[in-house]
Chain A
Amino acid sequence: MVSGLINENPTVYERKERRVRTDSTNTDEFSVEPIDQLEIFDHIRDIRDPEHPYSLEQLKVLTEDSVEVDDGKSYVRVTFTPTVEHCSMATIIGLSVRVKLMRSLPPRYKIDIRVAPGSHATEAALNKQLNDKERVAAALENPNLVEMVDECLSPSFDDA
């Protein structure tokens, strides 16, 4: 493994103000609230970066616009942007996002995780790796990897 941090001094951005849902007045018992972009983003925005104590949102690895969702077709695609091109943590980030969404979305969903075009040196390989069912399953059998992913997903103290 490489010693030291891959990106030693990442730029930290402001966290966006949490939008409060204004439709709480919606009293209709049987109206359906579809799963939308913001809801998915709310699931993944607080995932922690594997090497810094910041959330993926703060590092602009994820933005609300990076989520595409189609509730009717049960399809979601998350495009994330690693902070540096050769970031070897990109796989862990992608895996974390995938695991988080797997845990948060109904099983009917197909989850597609991608690296933003041109943002990573081994983009194609990475995309393939992240969306290969068997490789993901295998990765989640690996106790070391699972521990790292869980570390990223554990709620950070200032979110409480």
Chain B
Amino acid sequence: MGSLNNLTEHLETYVDVSRSPTHHAESLKAIAASLEKGVLSLNQLVVEMDMYLTTTDDVVRARGILLLAEILNHLKSKPLDNAVVHSLIAFFTSKLVIWRSLRGALTGCLALIKRKGVAGVVTATDAEAVAKSMAQNVQVQSFALHDRKLCFELWECLVEQYPEAMINLGNLIVFATCEAIDGEKDPPCLMVAFHVVELLARLFPSPSGPVASEASDLFEFISCYFPLHYTHTKGDEASIPREDLSRGLSLAISSTPFFEPYAIPLLLEKLSSSLPVAKVDSLKCLKDCAVKYGVNRMKKHYEGLWSALKDALYSSPGRDLSFGLEFLTSPGFEMDEIHREAADLLQRLVKQDISFLGLVVDDIRVNMVFDTISRYSRYEEMPDTSKLEVLVVSQILSVSARASVDSCNIIFQTFFFRLMNTLGIVEETSTGDLVHKENSTVSTRLYHGGLHLCIELLTASKDLIPSSKESSSTPGSAQQSWSSIVNRFSVSLIGAFTSALQSSNDDCSADAYLGVKGLLAMGMFRGGSSPISRSEFEKILTTLTSIITAKSAKTVKWELALKALVCTGSFIDQYHESEKALSYMGIVVENLVSLVRSSQCSLPYPLILEATSEVCSTRPKYVEKMVEGFEEAFCSSFSDFYVNGNFKSIENCSHLLECVTNKLLPRVTEIDGLEKSLVHFAISMWNQIESSVVFSYDFNGREFVEAAMKTMGQIVGVALVDSQNSIIQKAYNVISSSTLPAMESIPLTFAALEGLQRDLSTRDELTLSLFASVIIGASPKASIPDVKPLIKLLMVSLLKGYIPAAQALGSMVNKLGTGSGGTCSLEEACDIIFYESFASGNDISSDDSSKSKCGSETLLSKICLGFYGSLDLQTRAITGLAWIGKGLLMRGDGRVNEIALVLMECLKSTSGSGNALHPSAMKHAADAFLILMSDSGECLNRKFHAVIRPLYKQRFFSITVPILESLIVNSQTPLSRTMLHVALAHIVSNVPVTVILDNTKKLLPVILEGLSVLSVDAVDKETLFSLLLVLSGTLTDIKGKQSVSDNAHRIIECLVKLTSYPHLMVVRETAIQCLATLLELPHGRIYPFRREVLQAVTKALDDPKRRVREEAIKCRQAW
């Protein structure tokens, strides 16, 4: 009973018009849910609702009917008894008559009729009754939008689901539809209405059917919407986009051939209108009609269509052939939508009926073009009208040729001879016969227009070659007559294009462009049935390659030729043309690679490299070949350098390595087998170094060393672990056989170390740097032999100032111990680094430095603190320590804390034992924190397989910041204070913003102090800026709001000072922006500073930089 009570309540709610729509929806949902669950049966509901359905109160009754309808709408998938459905539909149908309850009746009918596939569907007779009642009683256009839409949907459903029943109704339904559509203006309704028309047309296909007899009326009602134009463009976003509706209309118009006598004239008329939208729509619609109406009906309109099409093609203005690189593979000029649609339609018509082509072929304008062509030899000389003429005609012809093989044959037969004649390839003899002059390229007349037309035709025909599978099934020789024509002229054509290409000089791109494009078109015929023989194809390739190799500078021609070659290469790869691939390999790839190898040609080396890498990257096989070539080239130039001292070669080497790094390495994952060849390349680099025992010539080849390091590191980075191992082994062999290992046995007194200052030869430096980059790039799983001596070696070189060595050490400690079978654990490594390496040296030097035994501090840290050695040694040790610390920090090792402590010790004005530190050492120590916290591109990142523990920055932050803060408070000298602030700024600006936001309260005062301290010296401007960014981050966040508000006076004071910071524009800009954001604070809090801020900003209005001024204006306005 409880549920029944509830029901009454829900019913009351729904029927009560004064309740809100959400209440209505809720009660509807509740009732539907209980029906769904079976708590309530439909019968029960109807009985319960009896009063609402039959009451004389119109409003309540309408609501009641609507409720029942909506409920049925919710129960679409619930099986219902057929009898129930029958009585319900009869009920709703009867209510269609009464306009007050129409909404409910329509919804109910629709809900019932939409039921399908579940038990209880409306029978055909019932559906017929609904339709009849609709047709007779419902005046669609007198209703509101929503009801109209329901009506149309109901029609749609009826016609779609009960075609037989509707056929019985015959004329009645067509009349009703006409009447319903008449005057409709809303897109959502029209969308459905157009679909109804389409369905009806499908329903009555017979020429004696009601649609055929009413075609004129029906068409009149829908055609008045063409072309669609929305008067209200904005505001109604839920509405249907114009494109969809226009598509719907087009489908309706093209739905039945009976519309043809009315539709085509209308469309042709609209096509001649000046409205671009109307043109596009008409063209689209004509395309649909051409398909649907069939050839016979279209035939009588051909004349009209052709002239309309011509108009459309000629009228779209502003087109010009552009000789740009990017148009080499496209038609070469911009097309607007009208133009595109017109071309589409033309192609469709020709494809459908070859007789349409007769109009094209006989057209006077088309035939006139040959005169135009032969009148101007250069494209630039043509007046705009002739340009347009040539472009449009060539497009008309190419589009028609593309339509089908037959049309292509006709076009070639009709026009190609004449074209050849114009170009001078065919001569007319006195008897009127055309004679093909085989060997007379001299007389070839290079009319640009002709060449363009020729290219367009060739490109069009090229697409007609069936792929190899199809051609075997239809080996028609007759249908390929165009192909034999092309074949006949191919030699002369290639000759013509080549001479165009060769005759071109650098300032005229048209010749070169047309030549290259023509050759490209000739080279891209597919498959075995290609009209171009292999030798001709090879000739094309040779021509293009010779352009590339002959030029000594990068010109338009050079770039065009290269692009064409790359296109050809990828075309070969795409269609698996094995024969052509061989030719390509033999002519293009090998030629270029041998150029790389010899490096003796007029072309600058970087250009050769560019060409080679571009061409070769079209196919994996070529890449392999190229890497081989590169390898050889590297070896030969390198040895050329160290034997003959040829500095040019070493420069070439750097270019080559750069090319490998930039062009090849990023593509390792795409190309199979590239990794292997690159590893081979790396190993042969080592081989070269090994064999070059002594450099007979010294060089300051910083560039080369850097390029080599980069390449080596990245190759190792991408290589698999096994390959890494082999590279490492190779590198180790080279290292151990070199003079370098001697260094570890050097008596490591500090005196000796300083004596070593300039001992490293360039070769050793190169070896060492390369080795370091191998270590940097190695993955943790790779095994490194003899770690201990290596660490010692790296330590020594670190102290000699080799930063790569420091980075390598950092990488080593970062990755040690995680791999299998490491020869040395992390503990041992750290022991060596921190204590052992100088044990021997320490013994010796202990005589003169008795202080060395103090405390538990490690040896390295003592160097850092300046107990031993010179200032240089100290700064190097600090930097080295930072890199090692970074390695440890990233893997989350605890020892980094000690390192941090040492570094902070360095920042104190006086170290523990009382001797003052040199400012430069302090500077290095402060910057060490940047090394520790920032992401490095050179080492210890994901690319180089670093072990990265999550949140390591946060951890370091929480450990170091409190210590730094207390140090700042206790700092004694201004210098140390500044340095501590620099260090803190490095940490704060590199930690994720969320961390800062959590600690705003504590950090804000320190940051502000830091900002004012750092603004003193121009050296710290970058640091200052990053710190300012952190501050601006806290200003905008809600979390920091409270503490920002508390510190408002200090923040404003600080920012005002920074608005006139002279050293960096962005600082000023950001400071002003920050001031503007501060306005979000409570008014009372900031009002006292108004004058101060305005003064500062007004001053900024006169800033030398425009961007600052703009910000100042905004900010001033805001304050």
Contact = CB atoms under 8 A, between A and B. Distances in A.
Interface in A117-138: none
A29 B1109 contact: no
A104 to B, nearest CB: 5
A127 B1117 CA distance: 27
Contacts of A108: 1102
Contacts of A29: 1063-1065
Given A103-B1117, A106-B1098, A106-B1101, A35 B1109 contact: yes
A33 B1106 contact: yes
Contacts of B1101: 104-107
A104 B1113 contact: yes
Nearest to A43: B1113
A34 to B, nearest CB: 8
Interface string B1081-1104: 000000000000000001101101
Contacts of A39: 1106, 1109
B1098 A33 contact: no
* Residue in B1064, B1104, B1106 whose Cβ sees the most chain A Cβ within 10 Å: B1106
A82 to B, nearest CB: 26
Nearest to A31: B1104
A18 interface: no
Nearest to A36: B1106
A106 B1102 contact: yes
Contacts of A105: 1101
Contacts of B1104: 30-33
Interface in A1-36: 21, 29-33, 35
Contacts of A32: 1104-1105
Contacts of B95: none
B1100 to A, nearest CB: 9
A74 to B, nearest CB: 9
Nearest to A34: B1104
Contacts of A35: 1106, 1109
Category for how many chain A residues contact B:
10 to 19
B351 interface: no
A120 to B, nearest CB: 29
Interface string B419-447: 00000000000000000000000000000
B1075 to A, nearest CB: 16
B211 to A, nearest CB: 49
Contacts, number: 30
Nearest to A38: B1106
B1116 interface: yes
Contacts of A103: 1113, 1116-1117
A39 B1099 CA distance: 18
Nearest to A71: B1102
A121 B1063 CA distance: 52
Contacts of B1065: 29
A109 B1102 CA distance: 10
A121 B1113 CA distance: 34
B534 to A, nearest CB: 51
Interface string A34-69: 010001000100000000000000000000000000
Given A29-B1063, A29-B1064, A29-B1065, A107 B1098 contact: yes
Contacts of B1113: 43, 103-104
A33 B1069 CA distance: 15
B1071 to A, nearest CB: 16
B1106 A21 contact: yes
Interface in B1058-1079: 1063-1065
B1102 A33 contact: no
Contacts of B1064: 29
Nearest to B1100: A106
* Residue in A30, A31, A33 whose Cβ sees the most chain B Cβ within 10 Å: A33
Nearest to A35: B1109
Nearest to A107: B1098
Interface in B232-283: none
B245 to A, nearest CB: 27
Contacts of B1116: 103-104
B640 to A, nearest CB: 39
A33 B1105 CA distance: 5
A2 to B, nearest CB: 32
A39 B1109 CA distance: 10
Nearest to A104: B1113
Contacts of A33: 1104-1106
Contacts of B1106: 21, 33, 35, 39
A29 B1064 CA distance: 7
B856 to A, nearest CB: 47
B235 to A, nearest CB: 15
Contacts of A107: 1098, 1101
A103 to B, nearest CB: 6
Nearest to B1062: A30
Contacts of A104: 1101, 1113, 1116
Interface string A64-95: 00000000000000000000000000000000
Nearest to B1114: A104
A107 B1098 CA distance: 8
A66 B29 CA distance: 67
Contacts of A21: 1106
Nearest to A155: B1117
A105 B1105 CA distance: 13
A84 B1116 CA distance: 34
A32 to B, nearest CB: 4
Nearest to B1116: A103
Contacts of B1117: 103
Interface string B595-625: 0000000000000000000000000000000
A108 B1099 CA distance: 10
Nearest to B1102: A106
Interface in A137-158: none
A24 to B, nearest CB: 9
B50 to A, nearest CB: 56
A35 B1108 CA distance: 12
A70 B508 CA distance: 45
B9 to A, nearest CB: 47
Contacts of B1099: 106
A103 B1094 CA distance: 11
B417 to A, nearest CB: 51
A52 B1117 CA distance: 24
Interface string B523-543: 000000000000000000000
A33 B1109 CA distance: 10
B980 to A, nearest CB: 27
A140 B197 CA distance: 67
Contacts of B1105: 32-33
* Residue in B1098, B1099, B1101 whose Cβ sees the most chain A Cβ within 10 Å: B1101
Contacts of B1102: 106, 108
Contacts of A31: 1104
Nearest to B1099: A106
A103 B1098 CA distance: 9
Nearest to B1098: A107
A26 B536 CA distance: 52
A19 to B, nearest CB: 13
B837 to A, nearest CB: 44
Nearest to A74: B1102
A134 to B, nearest CB: 22
21 contacts: A21-B1106, A29-B1063, A29-B1065, A31-B1104, A32-B1104, A32-B1105, A33-B1105, A33-B1106, A35-B1106, A35-B1109, A39-B1106, A103-B1117, A104-B1101, A104-B1113, A104-B1116, A105-B1101, A106-B1098, A106-B1102, A107-B1098, A107-B1101, A108-B1102
Given A33-B1105, A33-B1106, A35-B1109, 5 more contacts: A21-B1106, A32-B1105, A105-B1101, A106-B1098, A106-B1099
Interface of A: 21, 29-33, 35, 39, 43, 103-108
9 tightest A-B CB contacts, nearest first: A106-B1102, A32-B1104, A106-B1101, A33-B1106, A104-B1113, A33-B1105, A29-B1065, A33-B1104, A107-B1098
